Amino acid sequence: PTPTPTMPRVIEFRIPFPCTPEQYKWGQIYTVAKVCTEMTDPKDGAGVESIANESCTLNGYGEGVYTKKYYHFRSKLPGYVRAVTPKAATFMEEEAWNCFPYARTIISHPSFSKFSIEITTIHAPAKRDASGKIEYEDNVHKLEGSQLKSRKVREVDIGDSSDVKKEQYKEEEDPSRKVAGGIGPLTPGGM
């Protein structure tokens, strides 16, 4: 039997930051460069391969940067999986259009044409009500119909590091201990 196609899942993550969108933009540029460098290991071929980095224009969003990257992960797979997996299948492709404050990212693999992950990001300032509670624009992505109805909304508290695994914890990156650019330290629920 033919598998039933599934509808895309729409999950909206609301992540407040203690800075302006412009400050966030510069932090994001730094963080992406740092993570790409940390992920790349020339000894085993794992990591990020930059294919394209060029200017682009998106209607309604203006000028920005188009990037295309390959994420190679063969060396990170267990040996028994590597033994049965062709080398050509052990990478993912990322295409991104970053016209800040709008960004669109598509993660896919050429061998799996029906599978992709699409991330649409809007960096928008939030407001606080009289009690100090953060108020978000209710439909920042301008969803309609079934997408709006099925959308799941998740709020992420970057000041709460209680769910970080011990082996992944880095004190120098803990927002509850760090002050950077005059911002911090952060506390859970303190956004």
* Phi, then psi, of 156 in degrees rounded to 5: -115, 130
Q: Is residue 174 part of a domain?
A: no
pLDDT value of position 7 = 61
Q: Is residue 102 part of a domain?
A: yes
Q: How confident is the model at residue 191 (pLDDT cuts 50, 70, 90)?
A: low
Q: Give the separation between CA 2 and CA 22, rounded to whole angstroms.
A: 48
Instruction: List the domain range (segments joined by +) for residue 73.
Output: 11-156
Q: Is residue 29 part of a domain?
A: yes
Q: Give the separation between CA 56 and CA 33, rounded to whole angstroms.
A: 20
- The pTM score is 0.78
Q: Give the separation between CA 4 and CA 118, rounded to whole angstroms.
A: 20
Question: Taking the CB of residue 108, how many other CB atoms lie within 10 A of it?
Answer: 16
Q: Is residue 31 part of a domain?
A: yes
* pLDDT(135) > 90: no
Domain count, the chain: 1
Specify the CATH number for the domain of residue 71.
3.30.530.20
Per-residue model confidence as pLDDT tens digits over 34-71: 888 888 877 777 888 899 999 999 888 899 999 999 99
Q: Is residue 86 part of a domain?
A: yes
pLDDT value of position 41 = 77
Q: Is residue 103 part of a domain?
A: yes
* pLDDT(129) > 70: yes
Q: Is residue 94 part of a domain?
A: yes
* pLDDT(22) > 70: yes
Q: Over the chain, what is the mean pLDDT? A: 86
Q: Is residue 142 part of a domain?
A: yes
* pLDDT(3) > 80: no
